[in-house]
Amino acid sequence: MSLELPAEEYELMTLYGTHAKEANMQRFPIHYGVQKTESIRGSSSPQHQPFLAALKPETNECSGDVWAAHLVYSGNFLAQVEKDQFGNVRAQIGIHPDSFKWELKPGDTFASPEAVLNYSNTGLNGMRHNFHWLYQQHLIPKRFEEKTRPVLLNSWESMYYDVTMEKIDEQADLAKAAGIELFVLDDGWFRKGNDSRSSMGDWICNEQKLPGGIAAVADVIHKKGLQFGLWFEPEAVSEDSELLRHHPGWALHIPGYQSVKGRHEYLLDLSREDVREYLFKTLDFYLKDGKINYIKWDMNRPLTDVNSACLGVQQKEEISHRYVLGLYDILERITEKYPDVLIEGCSSGGARFDPGMLYYVPQNWTSDNTDAFDRATIQRGYSLLYPQITMGAHVSIVPNHQTGRSTSLDARYQVARLFNLGYELDLTKCSEEERKEIADQIQEYKEQRGWLQNEVLSYLEVPNENYIAWSVVSATGEECEVIIMQKLFDPRYSHGRIHLCGLNPEWDYKDESSGQIFGGDELMEIGVSLPLIKRDFHTFAFHFSKVKENYGDQINCK
């Protein structure tokens, strides 16, 4: 994509980050010269989203011009803007040209990735709504467009690699009692030991841990009335694996050099047809009996040693792109044969959260960081681009395993509830009161998820950076859910006022918790005043419903 903009003043917005701290917004004036954001890590990466936006300086959440571009691709990319000597601006996005070329012989064709170009004259929310509509209605697999996503319990933070049938049985019983619908067995089920140093690539269940194998685990889960999900990292291979011992040339490697490990593993060469066939047959083996309802498809390291034993010297700079095409080929075959299996993309969290993956998988694990305070910022950034139904958000234990921070169970839930809700904690270590609260959360979530996951999500203008605020407004405009996080208690910033958007200014709305009635114009122009709460990481939740025409008896005339 190459877009020419007239000689005016603009600001550039991008999303940058790292593992466990993805999708941070940055915005700054476009100056003379070239400004670029990129990935050369073999995937779209957590460092930079394959996205850029040019904005007028006065643009905010609800008003102003935005020109945005998003690349439908999961590999190396370059996004850049250049302001020339006359003040003209050119914005471009596509496959990264460094270390890339493609030999076209007579009669050959090459298809470049598509880019989405998005214009809004109603600010960042207008851009957000355009992306959400396009991706939910025209990108993710059609069968999952508005399909209800199950509330899940993931085993990772309760068991890590030390999985046993006894633990699974106990967790699943408590999950069922709480109203959870899907139990996901994460890493550890195939490992020789309880670490990440072996067995990747072999995908043989360790029956000393799980007698009867995955089929037996699935039967246990299904008998409790739950769906069953399983974690895979298909693209990786351990040095200590039968696969690499028998097929040393199947990993990306450069002859004569020591290969670089990441998370004690290498990456398989997906440009090879024999590698792709092996991975397809492996997944097919586990899926063919119909006992697996969900796959968490992980990928935990960048591409290094980018070389294939099968490609000649003239094709070495094709390998990164061929890897992505190989990944898409496997996903195409699996999703075509098993269309009803829900696949959630993951790459150490958000390291490969991009529109290219969403074409095959309807949702992505947003970040390995499940801390409510950090997640509020991460989800704010990703929600600029991705519908809430595509974003996994889990409630986990405190102190949080990634940050050591403690937040209330309610705060963790409120930050997650507008997205795909899951739990990632040891239910046996929760008190009776906590398990009751979790069950109440899930019941409330189920009552609302039909519209909260599919209707209009907006980020609200906040009085200062001490607040993060979202709203979801139903398609009819009659219902509005508002979630606000106060980051830290600070007397200088208390009593903040949050302006809503997307309501009908001619209607009256009732705050379902207090019973107070407000005009739609009042809520948008004057806003909601927040009370003084002397607590860090406190969340506020409001639900406004349209008042029926005859409501005189509800008004307190005093």
User: What gap in Å lies between CA 548 and CA 222, rounded to an integer?
Assistant: 44
CA distances in angstroms from 374 to 14, 37, 46, 369, 487, listed in the order given:
18, 23, 15, 7, 10
The packing angle between helices 372-382 and 409-416, to 10°, is: 10
Pair type for strands 294-297 and 342-345? parallel
User: What gap in Å lies between CA 452 and CA 479, rounded to an integer?
Assistant: 10
**What count of Cα atoms within 13 Å lies in the side-chain half-sphere of residue 432?**
0
Find how far residue 253's CA is from the centre of its chain. Answer: 30
Peptide bond into 399 cis (omega under 30): yes
Pair type for strands 363-365 and 342-345? parallel
**What count of Cα atoms within 13 Å lies in the side-chain half-sphere of residue 64?**
18
User: What gap in Å lies between CA 102 and CA 93, rounded to an integer?
Assistant: 18
Task: Measure CA of the first residue to CA of the last residue in the chain; give whole Å.
Answer: 62
User: What gap in Å lies between CA 244 and CA 265, rounded to an integer?
Assistant: 11
b vs e for 102-137, b when ≥16 Cβ sit within 10 Å of the residue's Cβ?
A: eeeeeeeeeeebebbebebebbbbbbbbbbbeebbe
User: What gap in Å lies between CA 396 and CA 421, rounded to an integer?
Assistant: 11
Please list the active-site residues. Answer: 298, 368
User: What gap in Å lies between CA 382 and CA 16, rounded to an integer?
Assistant: 11
Q: Structure tokens of 134? A: 């396009």
